[in-house]
Amino acid sequence: MSEVKRKITREEFLWTAVKSTALVALGAAGYGVFNKASTGLVRKRDLLDRKKTGKQNFSMAIDIEKCIGCGLCVEACSKENNVPADHYRTWIERYVIKKDGTVLIESPQGGMHGFSDDVHEEDVERAFFVPKLCNQCEHSPCTQVCPVGATFNSEEGVVLVDYDYCIGCRYCIQACPYGSRFWNPVKKTADKCTLCYHRIMNGQLPACVEVCPTGARIFGDLSDPESPVSKFTKENQTMALKPHLQTGAKVAYKGLSKEVV
Amino acid sequence: MAPQIPRLALVFGILTIAFFVVRTQAVPKSFGEKGFYRADFPAELAELQMSHAGSQACAECHSDKSETTAHFINGVACESCHGPSLKHVESFDEFKPHIPDKRAECGRCHAMIVGRRADFPQQDMKEHNPGQLCMSCHVVHDTATGGEE
């Protein structure tokens, strides 16, 4: 047995290096041309840069101290959007913190018909209502998992579901850390709050904001510094839900308690 | 050249062409124009029929109510109590908005329940004139909140 190793001359080595570099460069260039020509996709990051698009960035703020838990918003939402029974695009939770330290969290029928008075007031340290809805995240986990591009961040900063294109795999429902999505048994697709897209694009307020009797819900365009929601978030200390998840949740809560976050 | 190479190349070529043919059919029109979604969809969604008219629309005809009602002046919308009423704006004879008169309908906001903030006007519905209609004393479309007749 002679030598197993094959010796490469310097000339051979250099030629191989030149050829392989050229091949990789050609492949990368080809991929780039193919990708651009066949899909014409715009980078998502560009869309989110609203200074470039000049579009609105709709959002909502919630003043927890003002909410009285009447449930009119939940009812208006389900009538405006034909939400099937027992499903909610927005809902109200009641947090009752008792003197013994236990926390009771409830949302009977999404708070649509209000809350009962069966809690003994003597045991209660404090209690409050928290309206919830889709947070219209800037880096939404739900749109990232959609395999077909049926859910997306619209140019106006609203996360929408394309009902004609959704294949009903329900990944997005599991991906949402806020429980804002649900399976719509009538449409047979995923469904969620659209900030009443059909209303806001026609100059109306979302139905929940329209009917809220105490002004606990504030709606507007975050890219306009004079809009109610921009003013509210500037003038008050607000916080998003689950900020550690870095979802870029836009809905700002004033008076958020540690039991809720 | 080995005989299987051209055959495999043919199969590969047919599959590649088939992929692009299927792709042009399966990808919806306007997909990818603005991002990884169907660019036509937002405009389609914006066409949906509304059901709430908004208080401004109500005030155009019912200025007598909007100018004098304390609820309205304090920011309560007409449709908070009367329900979605865009149909009434479109044809006011055919659709009449709901007129709330039950105790529970007032109690929805004004009943005393745990969690409702103390500075909000509320009554213990079991103690406060049980069985009587709120409207028998209170005028809802009045200038003073909870004004009594």
**B121 closest CA partner among B70, B50, B57:** B70
Residues 77-106 of B with CB under 8 A from A: 77, 79-80, 83-84
Chain A residues within an 8 Å CB radius of B75: 213-215
More reliable by pLDDT, A41 or B60: B60
* Mean per-residue pLDDT over chain B, rounded: 91
Q: What is the average per-residue pLDDT within A27-34?
A: 77
* Whole-number CA gyration radius for chain B: 31
CB A241 within 8 A of CB A251: yes
> How far does A108 lie from chain B, in Å, by closest CA?
14
Binned at pLDDT 50, 70 and 90, residue A55 comes out as confident
What's the gap between Cα A214 and its chain centre?
Answer: 25
Residue A224: CB atoms within 10 A of its CB come to 13
Q: Tell me which CATH code domain A55-85+131-261 carries.
A: 3.30.70.20
Is the pLDDT at A224 greater than 60, yes or no?
A: yes
Confidence class of residue A50 from pLDDT cuts 50, 70 and 90? low
A37 touching chain B per CB within 8 A:
no
Collect all residues with Cβ–Cβ distance below 8 Å to B147 and sequence separation of at least 6: B70, B138, B139
Can you spell out the DSSP letters for A100-169? TS-EEEE-GGGGTT-----S-GGGEEEEEEEEE-----TT-HHHHH-SSS-EEE-TTS-EEE-TTT----
Residue of A41, A128, A202 lying closest to B32 (CB–CB)? A41
Angle at A194 between CA A75 and CA A71, to 5 degrees: 20
Q: Is B59 exposed, middle or buried (0-12, 13-18, 19+ CB in 10 A)?
A: middle
Which residues is A92 bridged to in the sheet?
Answer: A131
Could you report the per-residue pLDDT of B69-102, keeping only the tens digit for each? 989 988 999 999 999 999 999 999 999 999 998 9
CB-hemisphere CA count at 13 Å for A107?
13
Among A72, A117, A202, beta carbon nearest to B112 = A117
Q: Cβ(A217)–Cβ(A60) under 8 Å?
A: yes
Predicted TM-score of the model (pTM): 0.83
ipTM of this complex: 0.86
Under DSSP, the state recorded for A244 is: G
DSSP 8-state code for residue B105:
H
Query: Which tokens sit at A129?
Result: 């209502």
Indicate whether A147 pLDDT > 80. yes
- Residue A45 confidence class, pLDDT cut points 50, 70, 90: very low
Other C-beta atoms lying within 10 Å of the C-beta of residue A180: 26
Which residue's entry shows tokens 């399966």? B26
Residue A5's pLDDT is: 72
The sign one gets for the Cα dihedral B75, B78, B83, B87 is negative
Which residues of chain B does A203 touch, with a Cβ-Cβ cutoff of 8 Å?
Answer: none
